Amino acid sequence: MSLFSIFFYLFALITVVSALFVVSVKNVVHSAFYLLFTFFGVAGLYVLLGADFIAVTQIMVYIGGILILLLFGVMLTNKITNIEIKSGTVNIFPAIVLVGVLMGALVSVITRTNWKVVQKVIPNTTINSLGKVLITDYVLIFELLAILLLVALIGATSIARTNNTNKEEV
Amino acid sequence: MAEVGLNHFLIVAAILFSLGLFAVITRKNAIMVLMGVELILNAANINFVAFSRYGNNGLNGQAAALFVIVLAAAEAAVALAIVLNIYKLLTNVNVDEIDKLKE
C-alpha cells in the first residue's frame, strides 16, 4: 500500500468519523468541535488532490472564520448558565431511511460509472496558475465576489445590531 | 483496498453530503442546520477539486472550489446574523418553533 493510499484512508477516516459525530452528538458545542476535525480532514484531502492553495484557504476560512462564527452563534443563542446546550431532533427514522437510500444510490452510481481519468503530473504549486486563472478567465466572478463579500459584511452587521434609535422614535 | 483513485474521493464526498443532509433534516437548532449546510458545501468542494485533479479541465475546478468557500463564508455571516435576530425576538432558535412572521 502506497503512502498516498495510507494518507488518503487516514484523512477520509478523520473526515467521515468526525462528520458522523457532528450529526449524532446531542451537545451543540461538541458538534462544533467535531466539525473542526471534519474541516481538517477535508483540507488533508485537498492536499492529496494537489490543491495546496485550496487546502490553506479551507483551514483559514473554515476553521479560522466560519467555525468561530458558529461557536459565537452557539454561545449567543443560549443562556450562559446553561452548560448542557442540547439540540433536539425531529424525524430521525424517516431521515435515516431517506439518507441511507440516497447514500446507497450515490455510491452505486459513482462506482458503476466509468470515469474518464486523465493521467497528468501534479505541479509543485498551483498558486501561480490559479492566480492567473482567477484574474483572466474568472475576473468578472472574482470582482463580483468581492462586492458580494462587502454586501454580506454590511448586511450582516446591519441585521445583527440592536437598533436603539428606532425604538425610541416608536 | 484498491489503488486510491477518483472513485474514493467521490465516495467520501457522497458520505459527507449524506451526513450533512441528515443534520439539516433532523436537527431542531438553527445553528446545527447551518453546520449541516457547511458539510454539504464541503462535499461539493471535494468533488470540484477531485475532478480538477483527475479530469481534463485544468484548474477550473479549483477556481470553483475557491468561489464556493467565499460564498460559504458570506452565507455563514448573514445566516448567523439572522439567527441572532430571531433569538432576540423569540428567545429560541429551534427551526420547528419559529413560525411567526412578526411579534
**ipTM of this model?**
0.91
pTM of the model: 0.90
* A148: chain B residues, CB-CB within 8 Å: 70-71, 74
Helix pair angle (A127-135, A139-160), 10° resolution: 90
Looking at every residue in chain A, the average pLDDT score rounds to 88
Cβ–Cβ below 8 Å for A51 and B26: no
* A73: chain B residues, CB-CB within 8 Å: 31, 34, 80, 83-84
What are chain B's domains?
6-90 (1.10.287.3510)
State the Cα–Cα distance between residues A19 and B22, nearest whole angstrom: 11
Cβ–Cβ below 8 Å for B52 and A65: no
A117: amino acid identity, one letter: V
Look at A140-149, A158-167, B11-20, B60-69 and tell me which has the smallest mean pLDDT: A158-167
A165: amino acid identity, one letter: T
Q: What percent of chain A has pLDDT over 70?
A: 91
* A98: chain B residues, CB-CB within 8 Å: 25
Q: Taking residues A65-80, report their average pLDDT.
A: 86
The pLDDT, as a whole number, for residue A168 is 53
Residues 7-26 of A with CB under 8 A from B: 8-9, 12, 15-16, 19-20, 22-23
What are chain A's domains?
1-112 (1.20.120.1200), 124-170 (no CATH)
Phi, psi of B29 (to 5 degrees): -65, 130
State the Cα–Cα distance between residues A1 and B86, nearest whole angstrom: 52
User: For residues B47 and B10, is the Cβ–Cβ distance under 8 A?
Assistant: yes
